Structure 1
Amino acid sequence: MSQKLITIDLDGTTLNSQNQVSPKTVAVIQAATKAGHLVSIVTGRPYRISAAIYDQLQLKTPMVNFNGALTHIPHQHWQGEYKRTISKAIVLDMLDNQQNLPLKMVAAEGKHTYLANHLPPASLNFFPTTLAQDQLLSRTSLIRNPTSMVLFVDAHQEQVVRNTVLHRYGQQVDVGVWGGPTSVLEVVSKGIQKAKAVAYLAKEYHIDRQNIIAFGDEHNDAEMLAYAGRGVAMRNATPIIKGIANDITEFDNNHDGLARYLEAYLKLAN
């Protein structure tokens, strides 16, 4: 079988609903790597909450964070690393206008930096639960353009804030909305999407598009699954993602759906 580039989303795909990687998933991904295939994590998560999963899977391949705004190989200097940032002026403008806009938290993130003006509510477990003095977001602490800006807002104000950001900076940024019970807006450089990062990886490793297998479950996986030669939706994926995909896993993310699919498709030895 020709070498495949296997791009895997994390939440709802590689991870179960307890945000864990099962032993079966670890074993299958290591078997796929041993068979000569390239497995790359392609996630909306920042690096700080995906590095441990990368290490658990014992990967040495590039990882994509922030839905494509950062592509890098953890723990080493890679000449192919790239990042797309947003102007720090946009973040500072949000800070200056937080009284006029119903913002509960403004955070700015890069590969190794996290700055926020408040602690998030406990329900937002993707963020640090403590803030050191040097993590407080301010004009003096924000010295570099960040990869991502996150705005936590009241649910009924989500559309107002989103429209305001797009009205002011729509030529420079895109605004994504996190799914789930909390209202979180993520602002990244305009045109960022997972598919562009996957195309970049395929070019770097000389892998044809038809040899890309992509796994996902949510709206931010749509372009990636459509771009891949074989887009695979999880059993637990949204109806839209299932409609885009070439195939659907027999099992969901709580029952090793990705691992079982890969094992069978790549004919990996048990």
Structure 2
Amino acid sequence: MITITKKLIALDLDGTALNNDAELSNQTKATISQAVKEGYLVSIVTGRPNRLSENFYDELNLKTPMINFNGNLGILPHQAWAREYQYTIDREIVMELLEKSKLLGLSLIAVEGRNLFLANRGLKSGFGFFPSTLQTNQILNQQSLKDNPISITVEVRPELKAGLIDYVQNQFGDQVEVSPWGGPHPIVEIATKGIHKSTGLKFLADYYGILQKDIIAFGDEANDLTMMKYAGTGVAMKNAIDQIKNSADDVTTFDNQQDGVARYLQEHLDLAVGQ
């Protein structure tokens, strides 16, 4: 009897599986579909909240758990699941940031959970992640935030960014860690200390009984580092930052605009996909 080894493919979204218009190409969708058909497990492991990634999950016709908020949430989209997990932050941290928002130079404070989104204001240039206008039931205040959130995202005046990071680390460093967004945005994300994409990837591997050596993980930014180090094969995108390329086991020949993930999988897994 021949035993087929299970393999898991972990996909970051932005800058990796998605092109620069935040879309999945037809080639990527066809390649993932073929990989699943041939017995590979494919999971999305993203920094995005579930509200901004379930559409891609559906486009790829996935049935696997999805990891959101950089490892802080693991769900089966669109359904209740006994194995679902989440790591949350004490709401009092949010209240303190709200109270001191002017002093700290915070123009936006947004909190999220699986079924939670609240913000102190809309954001005209929301980078596609935040609404420009809020519904009444989305306004963040002492009364509206009843549950502990998974993630706090703040926009800070660029010259006060370092001061904000120091403040959060000094005040709450035993509970949370601070992750500045990549690129030019003056955005800082606050989440549970010690939880990263590797947390979610280990959860998936344990759930499916997959060895680390049988995991392929794709990424391009600093938040992908732990996931790629955990995986047996960490693959950096051609467009990845140097830190990721330098720690990766391999680098795609093509970038995220050129179906880099799809072409890599076709070549290395010998997938026959119609062009």
Which residue identity is paired with 1:50? S
Q: In the alignment, is residue 40 of structure 1 matched against residue 43 of structure 2?
A: yes
CA distance in 1, matches of 2:235, 2:268: 11
Q: In the alignment, is residue 138 of structure 1 matched against residue 125 of structure 2?
A: no
Cα deviation for residue 100 of structure 1 reads 2.0
Q: Please state whether the residue corresponding to 2:67 is helix, strand or coil.
A: strand
Q: Please state whether the residue corresponding to 1:25 is helix, strand or coil.
A: helix
The count of residues paired between Structure 1 and Structure 2 equals: 270
CA distance in 1, matches of 2:270, 2:6: 13
- From 74, 92, 108, the counterpart of 1:71: 74
Q: Please state whether the residue corresponding to 2:104 is helix, strand or coil.
A: coil
Which residue of structure 1 lines up, in the alignment, with residue 166 of structure 2? 163
- From 238, 243, 257, the counterpart of 2:241: 238
Cα deviation for residue 99 of structure 1 reads 2.7
CA distance in 2, matches of 1:2, 1:133: 51
Cα deviations across residues 54-108 of structure 1 (Å, max 9, x unaligned)? Answer: 1111111111110000011101222211000000010011111113221101111
- From 43, 50, 55, the counterpart of 1:52: 55
Which residue of structure 2 lines up, in the alignment, with residue 194 of structure 1? 197
Cα deviation for residue 121 of structure 1 reads 3.2
Which residue identity is paired with 1:70? L
Q: What TM-score do the two structures reach when normalised by structure 2?
A: 0.96
- From 250, 255, 274, the counterpart of 1:252: 255
Please show how residues 188-227 of structure 1 align to structure 2 within 5 Å: 188-227=191-230
Q: Which runs of 5+ in 2 are unaligned?
A: none
Q: What TM-score do the two structures reach when normalised by structure 1?
A: 0.98
Which residue of structure 2 lines up, in the alignment, with residue 119 of structure 1? 122
Give the alignment's Cα RMSD to 1 decimal: 1.0
Which residue identity is paired with 2:135? A
Cα deviation for residue 156 of structure 1 reads 1.1
Which residue identity is paired with 2:129? F
Q: Please state whether the residue corresponding to 1:100 is helix, strand or coil.
A: helix
CA distance in 2, matches of 1:158, 1:120: 18
Cα deviation for residue 153 of structure 1 reads 0.6
Which residue identity is paired with 1:215? F
Q: Please state whether the residue corresponding to 2:102 is helix, strand or coil.
A: coil
Cα deviation for residue 197 of structure 1 reads 1.0
Cα deviations across residues 7-51 of structure 1 (Å, max 9, x unaligned)? Answer: 000000000011110000000001111111110000001111111
Which residue of structure 1 lines up, in the alignment, with residue 109 of structure 2? 106
Which residue of structure 2 lines up, in the alignment, with residue 22 of structure 1? 25
CA distance in 1, matches of 2:14, 2:269: 23
Q: Which runs of 5+ in 1 are unaligned?
A: none
Cα deviation for residue 190 of structure 1 reads 0.6
CA distance in 1, matches of 2:124, 2:88: 26
Cα deviation for residue 123 of structure 1 reads 4.8
CA distance in 1, matches of 2:101, 2:264: 47
Q: Please state whether the residue corresponding to 1:160 is helix, strand or coil.
A: helix
Cα deviation for residue 125 of structure 1 reads 2.2
Which residue of structure 1 lines up, in the alignment, with residue 90 of structure 2? 87
CA distance in 2, matches of 1:161, 1:192: 21
CA distance in 2, matches of 1:6, 1:63: 12
Which residue of structure 1 lines up, in the alignment, with residue 13 of structure 2? 10
CA distance in 2, matches of 1:124, 1:161: 21
CA distance in 2, matches of 1:123, 1:47: 17
Cα deviations across residues 158-208 of structure 1 (Å, max 9, x unaligned)? Answer: 111111111110000010000122201100011011011101110110001
